[in-house]
Amino acid sequence: MSDTAYNVALTVNGEAVSETVEARMTLADFLRDTLGLTGTHLGCEHGVCGTCTVRLDGVIVRGCLTLAVQCNGKRVETIEGASDSNELADLQEAFRVRNALQCGFCTPGMLLAAQELLLRGGVPSREEIRVHLSGNYCRCTGYHAIVDAVEATAQARAGSAR
């Protein structure tokens, strides 16, 4: 172990993980390169595009602006975990049926960002959805279909909650 490497122990998608990481390694690189969780994508690596969005202790963060060592003792959730738990199943289905993704590269981050809004409950306006997703860059769709899919999911969840 070099003098810039540290041991970290954290939970990733419910699984205990212990690894040695370089101090400079980002959480996104750790997830992708060390753990093989490649659903977390890298679009800009300077915190603008939102493609690397993951949850850290339940709150969405930029995986490229978070260091792996900062996650010691914390709980990380990625798109793979949120898919396997079925937490996002309705939102993912709405994205599929509405074609709210084209190349799919922004989609994992977009889904986690949208889910954060949806978890607040209620049915956000299209404007609120657009503002909430404004940290996630999509080059393909023009966003309209994404707003449709998030709105439809919010309406369906609100309907079934009643």
Partner 1 sequence: MKISPDQPSVLSALDRPNSYIGRSVPRPNLQRLTQGRGNYVSDTVLLRMVHVAYVRSPHAHARIRSIDAAQAKQSPGVVAVVTGPELAKVMTPWVGVLTHLKGIKSALQHAIAIDRACWQGEAVCAVVAKTRAQAEDAVGLVEVDYEPLPAVTDMETALAASTPVIHPELGDNLTFARKHEAGDVDKGFQDADEIVETTFVFGRHTGVTNEPRAIIADWNPGEQRLTVYHGTQAPHMMQNIFAKHLALEEQQVRVVTKDVGGSFGIKVHVYPDEMAVVALSRMLNRPVKFVADRLESFVTDIHARDHRVKAKIGVRKDGTITAWEIDDLTGIGPYSVYPRTSGIEANQVVNLTAAPYTCQNYRGQCTVVMQNKNVMCQYRAVGHPIAVAVTEGLVDLAAMKIGMDPVEIRRRNLVRDDAYPATAPSGIKFEKLSHHAALDKMLKMMDYDGLRAEQKRLRAQGIYRGIGITSFVEITNPSAAFYGVGGAHISSQDGAAMKLDAQGNVVVHTGVSEQGQGAEAVMAQVAASSFGVPIERVRIIMGDTDNTPYGGGTWASRAAGIGGEAAWQAGKALRANVLAVAASILQAQREMLDIRNGVVVDKDTGNERIGLNEVARIAYFRPDTLPPGFQAELMATRHYVPRAYAFAFTNGVQASWLEVDTDTGFVKLLKHWCVEDCGTIINPQLVDEQVRGGIVQGIGGALFENCLYDERGQMLNGNMADYLVPMAGEMPDIEVGHVVSPTADSELGAKGAGEAGTAGAPGAIMNALNDALQPLGAKLLVEMPFTPARVLKALGKV
| Tokens describing residue 122 | 């209620």
Q: Which of 104, 102, 100, 103 is nearest to 129 (CA)?
A: 100
- Ranges of beta strands (E only) in the chain are 5-12, 15-22, 53-56, 59-62, 75-77
* Stretch of 9-17, 55-63, 66-74, 105-113 contacting partner 1, by CB under 8 A: 105-113
Q: Interface mask (CB under 8 A) for partner 1, residues 4-33, using x and -?
A: ------------------x-x-------x-
Which amino acid, 137? Y
Task: Please identify which residue in 77, 80, 118, 124 interacts with partner 1, judged by CB under 8 A.
Answer: 80
Q: φ, ψ for residue 65 (rounded to 5)?
A: -105, 5
Choice between 8 and 129, CB closer to partner 1: 129
Choice between 73 and 91, CB closer to partner 1: 91
* Stretch of 5-13, 55-63, 67-75, 136-144 contacting partner 1, by CB under 8 A: 136-144
Task: Please identify which residue in 4, 85, 96, 119 interacts with partner 1, judged by CB under 8 A.
Answer: 96
Choice between 73 and 77, CB closer to partner 1: 77
Reduced to 3 states (helix: H, G, I; strand: E, B; else coil), residue 134 is: helix
